[in-house]
Amino acid sequence: MNPFELAPAVRLRSAYLHMHRAVNGRLRPFGVTADQFVVLRFLAEEDGISQKDLVRLCSSDPTTIGRMLELLEDKGCVQRRPDPDDGRSRLVFLTTRGRNLCKRLYDATAPIRQVFENAVEANALQSMLDALQKLADAFAVNPELSPEFRPDESGSLK
């Protein structure tokens, strides 16, 4: 076996891409992508959050989140409104249609969650999730590793 195949980054990428493709396949009939589903799920958990918070929660960039919100808005799933406390910021809300769609998407992805749960022993799952969070946090506090993705004060990428 090629030693590079054993590299953590290669294994993470492989697992992510397999899962991402599986989710996209399950969601294709609904006209929604895995990335859009992530946005909907975060909004289902905490409605009325800022676009800037969605960028952070989704580990994405402002342009990508903005474009996804435009598409979801066009489908009648989300609504953006000015933040009453900060007119420069926009808050994002799920519509009734978006909330209903999110529930259907969650149900449609149940087999993928089942594969995940079957592949990782229950006693190892929390350790794995903690390790992934520590890894994400380690990179987040080292922005010099990827300066092109470091947001400036406004939340925009440099």
3 vs 88: which has the higher pLDDT: 88
CA 29 to CA 22: how far, in whole Å? 13
Higher-pLDDT residue of 2, 42: 42
For residue 6, the Cα-to-chain-centroid distance in whole angstroms is 26
The backbone torsions φ and ψ at residue 84, rounded to the nearest 5 degrees and listed phi first, read -65, -25
User: What is the Cα–Cα distance from 62 to 52, expressed in whole angstroms?
Assistant: 7
Cα 25 from Cα 32, distance rounded (Å): 10
Give the 3-state secondary structure of residue 81.
strand
Q: Where are the alpha helices (DSSP H) in 93-141?
A: 96-108, 110-119, 122-140
For the CA atoms of 128, 131, 136, 142, the dihedral, rounded to the nearest 10 degrees, stands at -160
Q: What tens digit of pLDDT does each residue of 99-116 get?
A: 999 999 999 999 999 998
Q: What pLDDT does 121 receive? A: 86
Q: Count, in order, helices (H) and strands (E) of the chain.
A: 7, 3
CA quadruple 11, 16, 17, 21: dihedral positive or negative? positive
Can you give the pLDDT at residue 2?
73
| 158 band by pLDDT with thresholds 50, 70 and 90 | very low
- The correct answer on CATH 3.40.50.300 for the domain covering 18-108 is no
19-78 pLDDT, tens digit each: 999 999 999 999 999 999 999 999 999 989 999 999 999 988 999 999 999 999 999 999
Q: Is the pLDDT of residue 80 over 50?
A: yes
How confident is residue 151, by pLDDT bands cut at 50, 70 and 90? low
Across the chain, what does the average pLDDT equal?
88
| Region 118-129 average pLDDT | 86
Q: Which pTM does this prediction carry? A: 0.81
* 47-51, 89-93, 151-155: the lowest-pLDDT one: 151-155
Asked whether the beta carbons of 157 and 150 are under 8 A apart, the reply is yes
